[in-house]
């Protein structure tokens, strides 16, 4: 199946170690009871962190005239994502995994870099994908703690602190850009979120996983009570 080029940009380059798939159904999707499940999860997350680094770097190159403070925040995100990649690789290899052992998806990069506006990219990457990531990471920390995996718990706690910052700066700057540009930025934001939703459905179908909404973290990251309630209603997370 070829994904709609109106919704997806070309994928990032990967070296010969990686097998790149386009659809969630093409992945191995190893069930939780399989001992390989966690290694596949760590491998997939490592690649998603690579995607996040690549997206933030593209934002810097694609929007050279953005406010200096915003460019500085995006550059810091590149640094954070680079550390996350190293941490996930370390946990993967500590469990006997290796880079390239499982297929990867580059859907985040392909969806977000297809969006023409910076306000749209911040809304999708940071306010949507990374905000949902806060919910997932918060849930994962509890699982790592219960299973006695101290290294994974430490990784997720460090990642979560960074994700809160990434979502917060995006919330702040989306509001600045909407206030400054008015209807044009609002339209770009709404259109971008709708396009990303259609693209996610094309990639994942019914396989999207939701987690309990981490309300306190979302407040810390700058979401309003109305926005948190909307997320809770849409995802069914309480």
Say what the pLDDT of residue 233 is. 87
Say what the pLDDT of residue 205 is. 86
**CB contact set of 6 (below 8 Å; sequence gap of 6+):** 114
Q: How far apart are CA 179 and CA 177, in angstroms?
A: 5
Say what the pLDDT of residue 237 is. 58
Residues in the chain: 238
Instruction: Identify whether the C-beta of residue 71 lies closer than 8 Å to the C-beta of residue 60.
Output: yes
Query: What H or E segment, with its residue span, contains residue 141?
Result: helix 131-146
Please list the pLDDT of the chain residue by residue as tens digits (238 residues): 678 999 999 999 999 999 999 999 999 999 989 989 999 999 999 999 999 999 999 999 999 999 999 999 999 999 999 999 999 999 999 999 999 999 999 999 999 999 999 999 999 999 999 999 999 999 999 999 999 999 999 999 999 999 999 999 999 999 999 999 999 999 999 999 999 999 999 999 887 788 889 999 999 999 999 999 999 888 765 5
Look up residue 13 and give its DSSP letter.
Answer: P
Query: What H or E segment, with its residue span, contains residue 167?
Result: helix 150-181
CATH topology of domain 20-235: Ribonucleotide Reductase, subunit A (1.10.620)
Domains of the chain, by residue range, sit at 20-235
Specify the pTM: 0.94
């Amino acid at each position: 199946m070829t994904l709609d080029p109106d919704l997806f940009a070309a994928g990032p380059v990967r070296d010969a170690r990686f097998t790149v798939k386009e659809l969630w159904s093409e992945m191995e999707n190893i069930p939780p009871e399989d001992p390989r499940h966690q290694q596949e999860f760590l491998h997939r997350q490592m690649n998603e962190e690579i995607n996040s680094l690549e997206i933030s770097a593209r934002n810097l190159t694609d929007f050279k005239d953005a406010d200096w403070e915003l460019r500085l925040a995006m550059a810091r995100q590149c640094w954070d994502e680079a550390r996350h990649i190293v941490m996930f690789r370390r946990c993967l290899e500590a469990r006997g995994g290796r880079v390239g052992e499982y297929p990867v998806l580059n859907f985040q990069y392909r969806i977000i870099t297809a969006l023409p506006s910076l306000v749209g990219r911040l809304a999708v990457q940071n306010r949507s994908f990374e905000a949902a990531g806060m919910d997932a990471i918060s849930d994962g920390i509890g699982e790592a703690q219960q299973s006695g995996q101290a290294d994974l718990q430490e990784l997720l706690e460090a990642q979560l602190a960074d994700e809160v910052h990434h979502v917060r700066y995006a919330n702040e700057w989306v509001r600045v850009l909407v206030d400054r540009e008015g209807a044009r930025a609002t339209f770009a934001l709404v259109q971008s979120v709708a396009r990303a939703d259609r693209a996610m459905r094309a990639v994942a179908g019914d396989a999207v996983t939701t987690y309990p909404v981490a309300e306190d973290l979302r407040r810390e990251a700058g979401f309003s009570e109305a926005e948190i309630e909307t997320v809770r209603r849409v995802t069914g997370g309480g």
